[in-house]
Amino acid sequence: MSKPQDVVKSEVVKDDFMVIVRKRIAAFGLPRIIILVAFILMFVLAGIVGMNLPSFFGDVLRRWGMWGILVLAMVPSIQSGNAPNFGVSVGIVAGLLGAVISIDLNYRGAFDFITNPALHRIAGALVAIAIGVIGGTVLGMLYGMLLNRVKGSEMAISVYVGFSAVAVFNILWVRIPISNPIAILPGTGSGLRQMINLQDDFGDAFDSLFRFQIGSMTIHTGLLLLFFLMCFFMYIFMKSKRGMRMSAAGDNPTYARASGINVDRMRILGTTISTALGAFGIVIYAQSFGFLQMYRGPLMMGFTAVASVLIGGATIRRAKVFDVLFGAFLFNGILTIALPLSTQLIPDIPGVPEMLRLIISNGIILYALTRAKGGR
């Protein structure tokens, strides 16, 4: 006996709806949905145990802006065919060098003609960014030339390039001549401290710009606007003729060569932009954090940036600005809320929050790396 016509129509509509839902889930990515749901559940649980949710959400937004540009540095590297840039530490140490030079110039009175305190801090940050980006560009070109000689092994090589850059600059931090006593290692008269306080220099330069309060939640408008502006510039660049050539070289080198595109040059371009953004990003991170982290500080930052963009939905061959926005928010959001939440739930066991921090952060990174080649 055949089904009534209205029942058949309702089943067809239901089937069509389920097909649309599956396509939407596949397009957005099931891993994204799982992590987003976990993040929301953490916030709900934090509210249940009485934590200050507005304050924590403001901190999530601040960390989003802090890490955003470092995560954005992954896009040109991936799109140019060099895979995620684990060696972004090359750019980070260049940015730290620019920051150290800016601190010394400030101590010598180079910015004294700027009497407004806010503009004084911004000037110091801009000088650090300019010097860091110039250094990052030069190092990025050399780094790109190296990656052209090890095609197919970029991810493994870039890890060791980043570690080597940090080690080489550790020697520089011990020997660099600097006059600012706040940066000099106590009792030695030379060399840099492990942590350099930026309170009297460019600390809070962009964080304090247009900052406002909503109850207990602080919105760091200047920091977020700068991050969004850099994302917009990256989006425009990727849609430009040169950006599309770079993406074509990364997606299909054989077709790109047949079209007259110099693939090696595009790979160098992607690595150079990525490294320069690493130098830019560490200055923004440091002014928000309030300190420069020298020596081993930058060693693992590349892993966090890579994990963030992969969690956002990127692969080792494709990355979009949306992957940066979404991934950086999720990664930092989970870390920001998970650690205080674990302290609330397990308050009487010493060392557990720190162990949980390592488990959560490294677990997210491990998960992201399994996603790098399409793992489930």
Residues of the chain with pLDDT under 70: 1-21, 23-31, 188-189, 346-358, 360-361, 364-365, 367-376
Structure token digits, residue 211: 């900052």
pLDDT of residue 95: 94
Q: Give the pLDDT confidence of 88-104 residue by residue, as tens digits.
A: 999 999 999 999 999 98
pLDDT of residue 375: 42
Q: Give the pLDDT confidence of 125-163 residue by residue, as tens digits.
A: 999 999 999 999 999 999 999 998 888 888 888 888 989
173 and 193 in contact (C-beta within 8 Å)? no
pLDDT of residue 83: 82
Ramachandran assignment for 193, one of left (phi > 0), alpha (psi -120 to 50 degrees), beta (any other): beta
| Integer angstrom CA distances of residue 51 from 194, 212, 216 | 33, 21, 12
Q: How far apart are CA 201 and CA 99, in angstroms?
A: 10
pLDDT of residue 184: 83
pLDDT of residue 269: 93
pTM beyond cutoff 0.85: yes
To the nearest 10°, report the CA torsion of 170, 176, 180, 181. Answer: 60
Residue 69 CB partners (closer than 8 Å, separation 6+): 226, 227, 230, 277, 280, 281, 284, 285
Residue 8 CB partners (closer than 8 Å, separation 6+): none
pLDDT of residue 266: 92
Residue among 286, 277, 303, 302 at smallest CA distance from 73: 277
pLDDT of residue 19: 67
β partners of residue 218: 213
pLDDT of residue 374: 46
pLDDT of residue 376: 44
Cα angle at 324 between 319 and 327, to 5 degrees? 110
Q: How far apart are CA 246 and CA 273, in angstroms?
A: 11
pLDDT of residue 360: 65
